[in-house]
Amino acid sequence: MVERSSTVQTRREREERDAISVAPRPAPAAPVRTPEVAVGTSTGIDVTALRDLLLGEWRDTRLAARARMLDPVFHLHDDELVADQRARVTATLHALLESGAPRLPFPPEFGGRDDAGGNLAAFAEIVTADPSLQIKAGVQWGLFTAAILHLGTRTHHERFLEDAIELRVLGGFAMTETGHGSDVASIATTATYDPATEEFVLTTPFRAAWKDYIGNAAVDARAAVVFAQLETLGERHGVHAFYVPIRDESGRFLPGIGGEDDGPKGGLNGVDNGRLHFTDVRIPRTNLLNRYGDVAADGTYSSPIASPGRRFFTMLGTLVQGRVSLALATNTGAQVALQIAVRYATERRQFPGAGRDETVLLDYPRHQRRLLPRVAASYAASFALNELLTDFHRVFSGEHDTDEARQDLETFAAAMKAETSWFSLETIQECREACGGAGFLAENRFGRLHSDLDVYATFEGDNTVLLQLVGKRLLSDYGKRFTGASPATVAGIVGQQIAGGVAGLSGATALAQRVSDRASHTRASRALRDRAVQERLLTDRVDVAVAELAARLRPAGTATPEKAAELLGRNQHALIETARAYARLRQWQAFDRAVRSTAPGANRHALEQLRDVFALGLIEGDLDWYLVRGRLNRQRARAVPATLDALLAALRPHAVALTDAFGYEQGHLRAAIATGAERQRQDEARAATTA
């Protein structure tokens, strides 16, 4: 008999099954300013303690970054023209460098601390000041300079790294092409080696091969890390990265290089995105960033990684930090929006209630439904992102850098980047609508936040593409469980899972629920708030879906490539939904670990309620799935929305404290409706009415 093994068992759980907290890292040398947040509020919640739990391992680094972002020099201006916005953001890069924060991930000899995790923790906070500044900084230090560090070798570090870090050379990251987008393996720009001159010749063969949407390319970049198909001695060796000067000191393109401005965008107009193309551009052989592939003077190619496919994914894997940083940043944007909207909802009144006063918006159950589940989801995202950031740091610091760890990190990062960026955009829009006309005013930030963060869903990997990668990894891991098993054994196990064997083993079948609940709504509700029941349901949502996909896709193994592609296409939606379920399960698991790491008291009780809201919201969204597969009976399914509503009502008195725990001050929020002005208006109106 084959023992059941969850497809969502993580490396963290394999290595540290019983660990529920991580020792904090040393605080930065600079003093940390502690923001003004409430402690011991009237609800009994210790807001500062909750804030620190949300901040996680790099608490002090994040607080220092938040303190920096209170400086108006970093703040966006709504009334700027595109050219002025670009110029301001470029100038502000230097102010950011003066803080020392951009040097964090680099080696000590270049002024850094080898603190990969701290760098991304600080980077996420820039969203509160200006997302354009964040992305401009990300292009310069997180893509251009990081590519030199991670894809280059010592000679490249000595030649190029210091100038890039210190902004003496602004650069671009020229990977994406107009015609291929996220399909990096198929890019068409070539770098052909000429042994006679020991140079690579870069060529853009047609218009669709232009490098597109390249940050810094329109105006500021003087160099770029260019990705191209490496060819030498008549053989192609796949995509590699090259350091390419593109402009002279006065800003004119060098011979053979051309480009154009992408122009105004729907958001992030402080970043000068542009296009680049190359016509017989020659660069020295030594400008190949050759950590994973090199060309000798005679044209001989060599690599420490024999497999071209594995070499390609290893090179791209070094750049996973972009996905981690965007996931962190978008959750920051969602928290800013929620802190504004919840504060307003506790002050704004609309329509008379049972008494003389008009009703506060957040006292309406529907308003609670609009905002409080999103507060819970942001907590879940925060805890999962803290674990993702720790995993990222362990890999990139060398603490735990193995092939398996990198693969786990890439899967986790892809899932979280997709799920969190979509969540953020949906949350900002819901917050805007929940604030009515006030939410539509530019002074209250929602419109600008949404437009600036909109593209986060499609760059550093389009979300849909990323989730397909996650789904394929789940299928791959599932298949490994049956290595060496006979086809009959495999078919039996898969059939058992799909038919309900997994739920049967866990005691979660509809029949077992009927016996346990005994037709009692109270018992059904109590069961749904049991963390073990939540874990079973959310785990089965992934495990069973993967088993179903594996069964449907099994014929692809013996089909022609065309038929296999067609079969995969027919199951693409289910694959993506399964990957999203995996991302949500990872968030619930991280949330549960955070709850169990918290001492008993008001904070833990509130966290338990938030965790339950998050879980029940996920289950409610998939009720049809659970009912069709017998994971929930009708009695328990009917209890889901009622239990959720009761939890939201119980959380209502804590709403401000729970969002204040996000830790942002007025200088971060910068929204008129979050200043208390609405309460003053309401008090004035009530006084006039009763006079």
pLDDT tens column, 488-515: 555 555 555 555 544 443 344 544 554 4
Helices 510-517 and 521-528: crossing angle in degrees, nearest 10, is 120
Inter-CA distances, 352 with 192, 360, 363, 436, 679, Å: 75, 9, 12, 18, 17
Q: Is residue 641 part of a domain?
A: yes
Residue percentage of the chain with pLDDT more than 90: 77
CATH of the domain at 207: 2.40.110.10
- In which element (H, E) is residue 577 found? helix 572-596
pLDDT band at residue 516 using 50, 70 and 90 as cut-offs: low
d(CA 639, CA 1): 36
pLDDT(26) > 70: no
Residue percentage of the chain with pLDDT more than 70: 88
Report which of 180, 184, 162 is spatially closest to residue 171, judged by C-alpha positions: 162
pLDDT(428) > 80: yes
Whether residue 114 is found in the same domain as residue 262: no
pLDDT(203) > 50: yes
Q: Is residue 200 part of a domain?
A: yes
Would you state the pLDDT for residue 508? Answer: 47
Would you state the pLDDT for residue 330? Answer: 98
Three-state DSSP state, 255: coil
d(CA 253, CA 262): 16
Whether residue 246 is found in the same domain as residue 112: no
pLDDT(413) > 60: yes
pLDDT tens column, 219-242: 999 999 999 999 999 999 999 999
Would you state the pLDDT for residue 1? Answer: 34
Q: Which two tokens mark 325?
A: 């940083």
Would you state the pLDDT for residue 496? Answer: 56
Q: Is residue 445 part of a domain?
A: no
Residue 184 is classified by DSSP as G
Q: How far apart are the first and last CA of the chain?
A: 80
- DSSP output for 49-67: HHHHHHHGGGHHHHHHHHH
CATH of the domain at 163: 1.10.540.10
Would you state the pLDDT for residue 358? Answer: 85
Q: With the C-alpha atoms ordered 624, 630, 631, 637, is the resulting torsion angle positive or negative?
A: positive
pLDDT tens column, 362-409: 999 999 999 999 999 999 999 999 999 999 999 998 899 898 999 999
Would you state the pLDDT for residue 79? Answer: 87
Would you state the pLDDT for residue 480? Answer: 83
Whether residue 233 is found in the same domain as residue 92: no
Of 255, 285, 311, the position where a domain reaches its end is 311
pLDDT tens column, 594-626: 999 999 999 999 999 999 999 999 999 999 999
pLDDT tens column, 564-584: 889 989 999 999 999 999 999
Q: Which two tokens mark 611?
A: 């965790």
- In which element (H, E) is residue 274 found? strand 274-278
Are residues 657 and 47 in contact, defined by beta-carbon separation less than 8 angstroms?
A: yes
How big is the CA angle at 152 (ends 147 and 155), to the nearest 5 degrees?
135
Whether residue 140 is found in the same domain as residue 186: no
Would you state the pLDDT for residue 530? Answer: 96
Report which of 287, 278, 292 is spatially closest to residue 199, judged by C-alpha positions: 287
Q: Is residue 548 part of a domain?
A: yes
d(CA 640, CA 84): 52
pLDDT tens column, 298-340: 999 999 998 888 888 888 876 799 999 999 999 999 999 999 9
Q: Is residue 524 part of a domain?
A: yes
Inter-CA distances, 227 with 73, 104, 144, 214, 287, Å: 35, 26, 12, 12, 12
Whether residue 610 is found in the same domain as residue 639: yes
Report which of 606, 537, 546 is spatially closest to residue 574, judged by C-alpha positions: 546
Whether residue 244 is found in the same domain as residue 167: no
Whether residue 112 is found in the same domain as residue 251: no
Would you state the pLDDT for residue 186? Answer: 93
d(CA 70, CA 458): 29
pLDDT(15) > 60: no
- The count of structural domains within the chain is 3
Would you state the pLDDT for residue 482? Answer: 62
Q: Is residue 317 part of a domain?
A: no
Q: Which residues does residue 227 pair with via DSSP β-bridges, in sequence order?
A: 241
Q: Is residue 130 part of a domain?
A: yes
- In which element (H, E) is residue 539 found? helix 531-553
Would you state the pLDDT for residue 492? Answer: 54
Are residues 230 and 286 in contact, defined by beta-carbon separation less than 8 angstroms?
A: no
Whether residue 250 is found in the same domain as residue 130: no
pLDDT tens column, 621-640: 999 999 999 999 999 999 99
Q: With the C-alpha atoms ordered 669, 671, 674, 677, is the resulting torsion angle positive or negative?
A: positive
How big is the CA angle at 556 (ends 551 and 561), to the nearest 5 degrees?
165
Would you state the pLDDT for residue 21? Answer: 35
Whether residue 499 is found in the same domain as residue 548: yes
Would you state the pLDDT for residue 509? Answer: 52
Whether residue 141 is found in the same domain as residue 179: no
Inter-CA distances, 668 with 416, 662, 672, Å: 24, 11, 12
Whether residue 633 is found in the same domain as residue 528: yes
Are residues 502 and 580 in contact, defined by beta-carbon separation less than 8 angstroms?
A: no
Of 311, 334, 351, the position where a domain reaches its end is 311
Q: Is residue 593 part of a domain?
A: yes
Would you state the pLDDT for residue 12? Answer: 46
pLDDT tens column, 75-94: 999 889 999 999 999 999 99
How big is the CA angle at 588 (ends 585 and 591), to the nearest 5 degrees?
150
Q: Which domain holds residue 164?
A: 72-171
Would you state the pLDDT for residue 245? Answer: 98
